[in-house]
Amino acid sequence: MATGDGCPGLLDAAAGEAMERVLQSSYLIPDDDQAVSAAAMAQAVEDLAPVPVCLATGQVGAGGRVGEIRLRPGPDGELGKGVRVTNRENARAIAFDCESPRVWGDGSRRVTTTFEDQWERVSRKAELGNDYLLIAHSAARALARELGCRDGGGLPEQAAALPAG
């Protein structure tokens, strides 16, 4: 499976290319965890069920490198913070406010999407930060669409327009 085909609906073209650079592979090791889609994550939020994660594992020689996309809905009514980016050495998280009458009625939630590079031996984590951000941004926008967030959760169209983390 091509890297860009993992995590269906979560990766736009730029994020698919970023995932290839992070995983250092253009092909994914076939498994069920990489088939977790934007629709499945949004449905779990709607059903108040545990939200599945999408694990994309790139084939590198005899081993693999793993990237994980997570979604975490916050408590009901936790809003007013706008779009925020959090940087860690091996991850980027984007939090946004989601007002969705379809999902939460009159309520709203703070939603956080995170991309984390789980391959511990990578020495290039600092230079991959922009790729982590591209992947997290693509997933956040896809989930805002799936959840029906008013005004797309305030997320900009391009990752470059996100506030500094």
Q: Mind spelling out the 3-state secondary structure of 10-76?
A: CCCHHHHHHHHHHHCCCEECCCHHHHCCHHHHHHHHHCCCCCCCEEEEEEECCEEEEEEEEEEEEEE
pLDDT value of residue 136: 94
Given pLDDT bands bounded at 50, 70 and 90, which one contains residue 121? low
Q: What are the percentages of helix, strand and coil residues in the chain, rounded to 5?
A: 35, 30, 35
Residue 98 CB neighbours (<10 A): 28
CB 55 within 8 A of CB 37: no
Given pLDDT bands bounded at 50, 70 and 90, which one contains residue 80? low
pLDDT value of residue 64: 62
Task: Over range 20-37, report the average pLDDT.
Answer: 76
pLDDT value of residue 22: 85
CB 148 within 8 A of CB 157: no
Task: Over range 114-137, report the average pLDDT.
Answer: 81
Could you tell me the pTM of the whole model?
0.88
